[in-house]
Structure 1
């Protein structure tokens, strides 16, 4: 093989490699721009305060949040510092749920995480507060659950355990695993 043929073949392979790399980077850019569009929120709300009603016209729940981002393509809504006030029956609030973060899915399930607190609005309630890392709420059935470690504060006691199911319709609370309960003397 002479030098001209070798130079021509080398130049052809170099051009083919350059073309292949440019096509590969171009395809990669298009894919990442499609993903970027899916991760951009469709709309954002600051200092959100929203009431949601049942089909009967009764108030179902109220949600407040410092910030809300709705992602239409992903069918999720993300909240920063949400506070849900739940009205399962008689239009009387029974519980407030707060967290640092929350995600509402299109099936009306909310996953709350980071410093989650379930607070009784009735001062006479035996259980006053429930603390945990994560809680899930089904806004259709009014059932709250968690598989994580739970701290329950009540009138005169503190309870530790894991696995919690709360049915707000019947006000029944079930702790899957009880670890410890500490009773305190109540001063009268």
Structure 2
């Protein structure tokens, strides 16, 4: 090979190397990093309704949401504007739960964030509504807990305080601290 062909050949290799180097850089900049990829949902949906049934085919709960994202790394599902309806074994809707955001874990715990409202759908129940900032509901046992300020409304009473432990199946709610209760009051 003469000197001129050798220079052309080396120049061609340099050009191809630079071209592939820029292509690789573009691919890296256009694709998310591995750290970001773990934070990306494996699926997402708008205006989704999810019905969960027991082994007998009875509806246990329904979750409606404006936006849903499911993450494979922790197996959690995030909801924007969740609207959860719980059902009794007789197929009657018993509770409606709303919040601005929620996270459902693999072990059926739903963490509710911002403006949480639990409304009893059974008209003859003493306990009618629970309002708090954040709460956790075990969808299997229907135990609800909160560490935040709480308001409870019922037939003929209104209570406020801090912290909550309740059982939605049994229609009970206990405020843990600083309890103030007003009877026969329409106070909000």
Shift of 1:183: 2.7
Q: Secondary structure at the match of 1:36?
A: helix
**Match of 2:175?**
175
Check conservation: 1:87, 1:93, Cα contact below 8 A. yes
**Following the alignment from structure 2 to structure 1, what is the Cα–Cα distance between the partners of residues 185 and 99?**
30
Q: Secondary structure at the match of 1:75?
A: coil
Shift of 1:185: 5.3
**Following the alignment from structure 1 to structure 2, what is the Cα–Cα distance between the partners of residues 174 and 49?**
31
Mark the runs of 5 or more structure 2 residues left unpaired by the alignment. Answer: 1-24
Check conservation: 2:118, 2:131, Cα contact below 8 A. yes
**Following the alignment from structure 2 to structure 1, what is the Cα–Cα distance between the partners of residues 129 and 168?**
14
Query: Over aligned residue pairs, what C-alpha RMSD do you find?
Result: 2.1
**Following the alignment from structure 1 to structure 2, what is the Cα–Cα distance between the partners of residues 170 and 155?**
16
**Match of 1:83?**
83
Shift of 1:178: 4.6
Shift of 1:141: 1.4
Check conservation: 1:88, 1:168, Cα contact below 8 A. no
Q: Normalising by the residue count of structure 1, what TM-score does the alignment of the two structures yield?
A: 0.77
**Following the alignment from structure 2 to structure 1, what is the Cα–Cα distance between the partners of residues 151 and 168?**
18
Once the two structures are superposed, residues 150-173 of structure 1 have per-residue CA deviations (whole angstroms, 9 ceiling, x without a partner) of: 001122322101221222333332
**Following the alignment from structure 2 to structure 1, what is the Cα–Cα distance between the partners of residues 118 and 178?**
18
Shift of 1:145: 1.2
**Following the alignment from structure 1 to structure 2, what is the Cα–Cα distance between the partners of residues 56 and 73?**
31
Check conservation: 1:89, 1:169, Cα contact below 8 A. no
Mark the runs of 5 or more structure 1 residues left unpaired by the alignment. Answer: 1-25
Once the two structures are superposed, residues 106-138 of structure 1 have per-residue CA deviations (whole angstroms, 9 ceiling, x without a partner) of: 111110010000001122222221100111011
**Following the alignment from structure 1 to structure 2, what is the Cα–Cα distance between the partners of residues 46 and 136?**
24
Equivalences for 1:5-154 in 2 at 5 Å? 33-154=33-154
**Match of 1:6?**
none
Q: Normalising by the residue count of structure 2, what TM-score does the alignment of the two structures yield?
A: 0.77
Check conservation: 2:160, 2:175, Cα contact below 8 A. no
